[in-house]
């Protein structure tokens, strides 16, 4: 259709939404971090499944140089989040950082593009310098849970501790085991022990 920039209505109907915003009990994403790190609130817009439209969307954002698609999906996330989640206390959106080499190769950080879409509608500022990626880690795609954790452990550094944030929301493209976010949150807590952290992801892998 003339008003469809990236996703046609047929493919849009195939996307399996999580509907976490409608649940009154802890979601599967909430439970993913139980006993690992304390998280204020979590959200993922849809489930990721290999061979599905969701995989195509994530692949095009990450590797297909379609950063604007990431912005559009971030805006779609924001429309859902604003109606069901507490946003007033969030001081900043923190995109999961990528190593400068990956950012250069892709032309952008895909999580930052998604965060931009959320920010466009919520007006919550984005902070790209709150934490940096120190190590150029390998792709997580074909790694086991333990290998994923070891691959990212120690990979983040230089966390800001003087910005006065009381509540931040980490923005990610897709969550599988939660290893990256677990390590990232623990690193943030070292210098900001009292900060509240929420997680907003475009997708979550469905088991």
Domains of the chain by residue range: 21-205
CB 207 within 8 A of CB 50: no
Which tens digits make up the pLDDT trace of 43-73? Answer: 999 999 999 999 999 999 999 999 999 999 9
The pLDDT value recorded for residue 72 is 95
CATH topology of domain 21-205: Rossmann fold (3.40.50)
Q: Give, for 184, the enclosing helix (H) or strand (E).
A: helix 179-191
Helix (H, G, I), strand (E, B) or coil at 93: strand
CA distances from 47 to 17, 20, 110, 158, 189 (A): 6, 11, 18, 32, 28
pLDDT exceeds 70 at position 155: no
Q: How far is it, in rounded angstroms, from Cα 86 to Cα 7? A: 29
Helix extents (H) in 23-135: 28-32, 53-62, 67-84, 100-106, 110-122
> How do the residues of the chain divide into helix, strand and coil, expressed in percent and rounded to 5?
40, 15, 45
pTM of the full structure: 0.86
Q: Say what the pLDDT of residue 149 is.
A: 43
């Amino acid at each position: 259709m003339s008003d469809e920039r990236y996703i046609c209505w047929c493919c849009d109907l195939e996307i399996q939404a999580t509907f976490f915003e409608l649940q009154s009990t802890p979601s599967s994403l909430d439970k993913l971090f139980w006993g690992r790190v304390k998280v204020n609130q979590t959200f993922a817009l849809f489930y990721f499944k290999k061979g599905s439209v969701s995989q195509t969307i994530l692949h095009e954002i990450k590797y297909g140089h379609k950063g604007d698609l990431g912005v559009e999906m971030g805006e779609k996330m924001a429309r859902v989040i604003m109606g069901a989640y507490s946003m007033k206390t969030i001081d900043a959106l923190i995109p999961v950082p990528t190593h400068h080499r990956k950012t250069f190769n892709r032309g952008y950080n895909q999580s930052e593009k998604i965060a931009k879409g959320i920010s466009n509608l919520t007006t919550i500022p984005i902070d790209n310098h709150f934490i940096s990626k120190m190590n150029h880690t390998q792709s997580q795609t074909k790694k086991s849970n333990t290998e994923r954790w070891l691959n990212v452990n120690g990979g983040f550094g230089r966390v800001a501790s003087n910005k006065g944030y009381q509540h931040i929301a980490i923005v990610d493209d897709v969550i599988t085991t939660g290893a990256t976010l677990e390590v990232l949150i623990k690193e943030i807590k070292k210098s900001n022990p009292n900060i509240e952290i929420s997680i907003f992801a475009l997708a979550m892998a469905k088991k």
